[in-house]
Amino acid sequence: GGPRAPPHWIPPGRGFGGSLLFLPRPGGRRLQLSVGGGTRPGTLTSVFGALRGRLEPDCYVIVGAQRDSLGPGAAASGVGTALLLELARFFAAIGREGFQLRRTLLFVSWDGGEFGHLGATEWLEGYPDLLHTKVAAYISLDRAVLGADRFVVRTSPTLVNLIESALEQV
């Protein structure tokens, strides 16, 4: 039942045309908000670990997860990072017991994931030849566990039959 927000409250370039609603109750409270984000330059650190393959050591399967939590928090980064660490630990353990990988497994914990995927983007832009000639697959662990009751796969059309075959076996 209160007034509309004053025109100067509308974010620049948003084009709300004064339609942003602010309907305070009579006798409402006063609020002062300060944002201290800043634009100070910083350093991103992506962490890489590899388990060398025996038959095709120069062919990579990359398993990655973003490590920061600027966005959806635990669903995007905390769970993905936990899965990444456990998968690396598991494959290292079975490797010590004699299991041999066909291809090299590259585990990557990306920094700068929520802010434009800068960690991954910078690395990918630095190694385009590697991606086009030596990477067999990329498995993203971001948002791997969100509580939905359905399985979702995003893939190249060339892998659809392989994924369907694997699912039938499971």
Question: What is the tally of structural domains in the chain?
Answer: 2
Answer whether 0.85 is exceeded by the pTM.
Answer: no
State whether 66 and 117 are in the same domain. yes
In a domain, 51, yes or no: yes
State whether 60 and 29 are in the same domain. no
In a domain, 93, yes or no: yes
State whether 24 and 84 are in the same domain. no
Pairing of strands 135-140, 56-66: parallel
- DSSP letter string, the chain: --PPPPGGGSPTT---TT-----PPTT-------------------EEEEE--SSEEEEEEEEEEE---SSSGGGTTHHHHHHHHHHHHHHHHHHHTT---SEEEEEEEESS-TTTTHHHHHHHHH-HHHHHHHEEEEEE-TT-----SS------GGGHHHHHHHHHH-
In a domain, 170, yes or no: no
State whether 18 and 94 are in the same domain. no
In a domain, 156, yes or no: no
In a domain, 100, yes or no: yes
Specify the pLDDT at position 87.
95
State whether 30 and 63 are in the same domain. no
In a domain, 157, yes or no: no
State whether 86 and 122 are in the same domain. yes
Specify the pLDDT at position 24.
60
Specify the pLDDT at position 134.
93
Can you give the pLDDT of all 170 residues of the chain as single tens digits? Answer: 566 667 676 666 555 444 555 656 666 667 777 777 667 777 888 899 999 999 999 999 999 988 875 555 566 677 888 999 999 999 999 999 999 999 999 999 988 776 677 888 888 888 888 888 999 988 888 877 766 677 778 788 888 999 999 999 98
Specify the pLDDT at position 105.
96
State whether 89 and 118 are in the same domain. yes
State whether 60 and 129 are in the same domain. yes
In a domain, 163, yes or no: no
State whether 89 and 127 are in the same domain. yes
Residue 103 CA to residue 109 CA, distance in Å, equals 19
In a domain, 167, yes or no: no
State whether 23 and 73 are in the same domain. no
Specify the pLDDT at position 148.
64
State whether 110 and 88 are in the same domain. yes
Which helix (H) or strand (E) segment is 133 a member of? helix 128-134
45 φ/ψ angles, rounded to the nearest 5 degrees: -130, 105
Range of the domain at 31: 11-36
Specify the pLDDT at position 146.
66
